[in-house]
Amino acid sequence: MCPLVFSCDFLLQEHVELHLLGQHSGQRSFQCPMCSAVYSNSFCLQEHVELHFDHELSRDQSGSPHSDLMLAKELQHKEELKRKQEQAQLERQEFKKLQRQFGLDGRGGYRRQMERSMERAVASGHLAPVDFHLKKADMMESLASGVDDGSSRTQGVIRALGDYYQTECRDSVQVWLAVDTDHYSSSAGDKGWGCGYRNFQMLLSSLHRIDAYSSVLQEKTIPCIPRVQRMIEEAWKEGLDPQGASHFSKRLQRTQAWIGGTEMYVLLTSLGISARIIDFHQPTGSKNTHPHLFDWVKQYFCQSSKSSSLSPRLILTHLPPLYLQHQGHSRTVVGLEQRKNGSLCLLLLDPGSSSSDTRKLLSRETRLTAVQFVRKFPRNLKHKQYQLIAVQGVLSPEEKQIRIFNSRTLSAERTP
């Protein structure tokens, strides 16, 4: 239909269709200035002429009769390469975000974060240089020994809560409290990522006060966070939770990596202590609440055969507290309150609460306000999922080996 030649069948088909369209549509005609093709509208003519120029340009650039096909393939290859590069760049950015979120981005661990915090305090005038060196020396001594220095610990919290419910609280009919548990708050060295480690310290402080557990715990001190990280790495080497170990590349020391319920289970199992992981994987009440979680906690505290009652409504159990995990944070359940209207209220110790705020529980003048930060009702726990870790006895050597073997496919008890 015209002398134009193409080496690409797609371009040829498009060109011929424009010829045919020009022959069978409309009455007014527009003739191509480069060949004999005639079109009924200017739009079709413009597309046709552009094909002429595209063809001539490709011939001028290569001088090859197949240059239009080669050019098309080259452009396609470049576009595909660009797309893959952009995708790889996006994946690298997302991976770095995840690394930073979970403390695996090489910023250093507890020691480095503490040093940076003290250096900023010196630069701002809030810490004298001589105090900086004293604090750093104390930190290095703690890290060398593997024992927590106790600077963020608050003792006597359970006794203070018992005193409050015995003498001041009038709107509850029954209160259960765990065995005496020390509160450990996050410090400058682990702020933003240390909640799991601090909750382990709280749980361990309670186990030291229960004869059945203290007899199997070889170390009678509370480990510092770097030591806890080393304990988890040692548990992985025993064969516990290989999938979890792979997630962290088998390394926690000198990182700011978060730990959760699975690592708590690994720690306890490695110490010869039996633990359960219970998943509350969806809300069971209105407005995204978890009443089933509260019922489970009540059943846990009611099971205690060894308990003492200081008043008709206050029961001091000999049970360790529970580890409570949700997305982004964890806390320690040290008790449960049942109110006159039948509603339940968890009593939580939060590592995010400072030592100074926690110590307000110890004074009757400030206790009424401070206890409000400990009490949590169903309306206060509205994350989609929660997880509890419950201690339930001591493992025999044979039982521990079975737990290690089964942890290759570690799974939680799902409820309901």
Measured in residues, the chain has a length of 416
d(CA 231, CA 81): 46
Structure tokens at 10: 């797609």
Active site residues: 195, 329, 350
Beta-carbon count within 10 A of 11 CB: 18
CA distances to 12, 192, 303, 338, 409 from 315, in Å: 89, 35, 12, 12, 38
- Which residue has 């290095």 as its token pair? 140
Cross-strand partners of 338: 174, 344
CB 315 within 8 A of CB 178: no
Instruction: Of 207, 199, 188, 174, give the one whose Cα is nearest residue 312.
Output: 174
State the Cα–Cα distance between residues 205 and 17, nearest whole angstrom.
Answer: 83
320 prior amide bond cis, ω within 30:
no
Nearest to 294 by CA among 327, 338, 264: 338
CB 331 within 8 A of CB 340: no
